[in-house]
Structure 1
């Protein structure tokens, strides 16, 4: 398939008119073309020159375990199909992900992100913004690409390059703890943190290791204030984070 982008005028109008359009998102009938024609916007999306394989995203259940497994599988599918086709700069464009959510993957978004009452946070899941939280955590499709990009381990391409992605999705809270951080779009920092967390999980058997957020929130942010994290290798960050988490896991057990 060829990647598409919303035009800025179309994107702005959809966001502005979200309340009036709410019912359309849950309808099985196509509505965008008629909606934009009424608004006298003839061209509401643009076709890029980027061609990617057609992929069907998976959805198998509502419990956290099923969601985590689906997310992992969908990251492998989507990032695997897109990783050599678009750059991080292109992947920072909200118009791309918003269009894919509205047009290509609408059914998936509705299934994956429905709440107990059957509704979806349309403003978060269908729309993307340029912010870190939106791209990495909230938008239904961009989060798959960015999670893949930030955790894909090129050094393990012949075995399992998604081993750190598995650590990231071992518990829902870990994703939020990580992507709340300003440093979370730094691939080297993310790799180091997740390598440390993986070691702690293997030692403690606790997938949701509570000290991970403490490490991200206070320790590494403080460490970064006195040392430049950007200048460290992933292995250095791994050791710093691992020693902190190991110490604090022991302290919590006493």
Structure 2
């Protein structure tokens, strides 16, 4: 399976004249879109190659609304398993790769996952479904919002290589529901660029949950993130390993919410 990226010329054309191409996305006409865009060039084949894979496209109903929790979690594992050894951090941070993937092998998945956005009256909602909104949000937030790129980055932040029994245990814990919002929460902190900090933090939160915390709530994560963000200026967190980070978070959570 070859991965394709979107050349800058095509990206500039879509960003500058998206209204002209809007109907192709709403009508699910990939071939028509690429044919018209061919006046400006074509998607380019990258040097990245992996085993063929597809993403799950299943939903459930929660409180009368369409829910993607189960398939989102499954797709984090699928995406990261197939590409964790194929993508460098530079490649994974490049919007052109994800924009190319959304316009090629994963077009149908984006149609499925962003069905609500594609029906929106707002042009930007349709555009953001297929193109990373880097100019408005910055690259880190944009890749956390995009339905394809956030799958790989969610895996990157939470895949625990030292857990030989189930390296996705923290992934399953943190992304048990609300993948988009929890991904944005994680990506909003500068220190999360270091995955070992994320791993240590999540180990601590998971430990509290297993010892009797009712559930993982946003305020638990906010407390831990705010604490690490606060000490980051005085302590170089990058020099600490995941177990030292885990111990730091243990201490602050015990002080804040009591020892379990």
Equivalent positions of 1:10-21 (< 5 A) are 10-21=10-21
Name the counterpart of 1:215.
Answer: 224
Local SS of the residue matching 2:166: coil
Matches within 5 A, 1:101-116: 101-115=102-116
1:183, distance to aligned residue in structure 2 (A): 1.5
Whole-Å separation in 2 of the counterparts to 1:184 and 1:125: 24
Q: Which residue of 1 aligns with 2:248?
A: 240
Instruction: Note if contact 1:171-1:207 (Cα within 8 Å) is conserved in structure 2.
Output: no
In the TM superposition, residue 171 of structure 1 has moved relative to its aligned partner by 3.5
1:70 maps to 71
Of 125, 130, 135, 1:126 maps to 130
Q: Residue 239 of structure 1: SS of its match in structure 2?
A: helix
Query: What CA deviation, in whole Å up to 9, does each residue of 1:221-241 have, x standing for no partner?
Result: 111111111111111111111
**1:204 aligns to what?**
213
Kept in 1, the 8 Å contact 2:145–2:184? The answer is: no
User: What is the TM-score when the length of structure 2 is the normalising length?
Assistant: 0.85
Aligned residues: 245
2:148 matched to 1:141? yes
Unpaired runs of 5+ in structure 2? Answer: none
- Alpha-carbon distance in structure 2 between the residues aligned to 1:81 and 1:177: 25
1:195 aligns with 2:195: no
The reply to whether residue 166 of structure 1 matches residue 164 of structure 2 is no
Q: Is the 8 A contact 1:50 1:85 kept in 2?
A: yes
Whole-Å Cα distance in 2 between the matches of residues 140 and 206 of structure 1?
A: 25
Q: TM-score, normalised by structure 1?
A: 0.87
RMSD of aligned Cα (Å):
2.3
